[in-house]
Amino acid sequence: EEKHQPKNLKIVPSNMSINQRFKKFFIDASRTTCFNPSDVFASVGVAKNKFRSMAQQDAQELLRYLLDALNEEDNPAGHRPVQNESRGEQISKLKLTYIEHIFGCYLASRLHCQKCDHISWTLDLCLDLNIEILRDKNIETINIPYDKPIPEGEIKHPGLVYPSKNIKIPKLLYSFFSPEILTKQNYFHCEKCKMSQAVKKLYLKDPPRVLTVVIKRFTNGLIKNNSHVEFPFEMSLDGVSITPG
């Protein structure tokens, strides 16, 4: 019995860029109820050989390759300004492209040393959130600020506010944005006192118009977690955002 071999996708040569193909796809889709995304899919295969065949692939990985390709073409490597801030806060990248303005957000990480009270922030531009299922944390005894302005001495961005404790965090995002204690086991050392105990809390700054959430179902032992996950198409991010409004 012959084994089925996935056929390679035929890639039609084109002078069109991936952004031009993507735009054409949406224009064509708006004119009919039946449309074919194969041209856009083929353009991803030009950059990534693994998508040239019709073998089964991860949908999230395809989306990420597509967004990265659109992003890089819209803003070629080497032309991105990097903004460095003082007062313990660094911004890795600035939002420049339309992909970043639609899907991008800043994942703000707040580290509070429990020995010397030093607070530092890091803001990283990301296009998706990787969420673990049923991630256990002891959060009841962790003291974190709520419902008050964030001092500019902590982060050099005026007008930011800690979310209210009364705002319910969506169940899907609860474990990801819950505070956790960092110790030597997490390879943490305070940049000021060099001690190894701090509270880490994640927030969103400038939440995206479209939030992409990747559910991490596999553990390090490649064991799949088949727990049911509620995935709403719309959700409020007020409980995890430090950007008012």
Question: What mean pLDDT is predicted for residues 155-175?
Answer: 89
User: pLDDT band at residue 8, thresholds of 50, 70 and 90?
Assistant: low
Distance CA 234, CA 243 (A): 18
Question: Hey, what are 87's tokens?
Answer: 């007062």
Condensed to tens digits (0 to 9), the pLDDT of residues 33-85 reads 887 787 777 777 777 777 777 777 788 888 888 888 888 777 765 445 444 44
CB 204 within 8 A of CB 243: yes
Condensed to tens digits (0 to 9), the pLDDT of residues 107-149 reads 999 999 999 999 999 998 889 998 887 655 555 568 899 999 9
CB 173 within 8 A of CB 214: no
Condensed to tens digits (0 to 9), the pLDDT of residues 173-225 reads 888 998 988 988 888 899 899 999 999 999 999 999 999 998 888 777 678 88
Distance CA 224, CA 228 (A): 12
Which amino acid, residue 182?
A: L
Residue 222 region by backbone torsions, left for phi larger than 0, else alpha for psi between -120 and 50, else beta: left
Residue 199's nearest CA partner among 148, 150, 153, 137 is: 137
Distance CA 158, CA 8 (A): 53
User: pLDDT band at residue 86, thresholds of 50, 70 and 90?
Assistant: very low
pLDDT computed for residue 151 by the predictor: 92
Which letter, b or e, does each residue of 140-166 get, where b requires 16 or more Cβ atoms within 10 Å of its Cβ?
Answer: eebeebeeeebeeebbebeebebbeee
